[in-house]
Amino acid sequence: VTGAITGAITGAGLDKDVMLLTDGRFSGGTKGFCVGHVAPEAAHGGRIALVRDGDPIVLDMDSRELDLNVDAQELARRRQKWKAPHPLLRGVLAKYARLVGSAAEGAVCG
């Protein structure tokens, strides 16, 4: 999925102006300014779950930190409204979700 997104960004000529930020992985064909494996993931209630279109995000490469530049009260309102996604109960993705840990801990199967 991230390949399609980076392709759309590049196709629109925005690959030098837009940063793609995701808690997912990249396929290897990624082009442009992309940050992946953000943790904790949105599904676990990480701050990435609270991001809305137009929110300013500051990336400090030296300190390796991302900051969602949104007022603390607004983030608190968003946090109150946030709901965890329903767990997958069947299929390959359900098995994966049961067996593989967070990307923050290496996405280790066990």
**Contact indicator for 48, 36 with CB cutoff of 8 Å:** no
d(CA 31, CA 28): 9
**Contact indicator for 39, 102 with CB cutoff of 8 Å:** yes
3-state SS, residue 60 = strand
d(CA 75, CA 69): 10
Structure tokens at 43: 């599904």
27 is catalytic: yes
Q: Which of 27, 55, 93, 95 is catalytic?
A: 27
Active site residues: 27
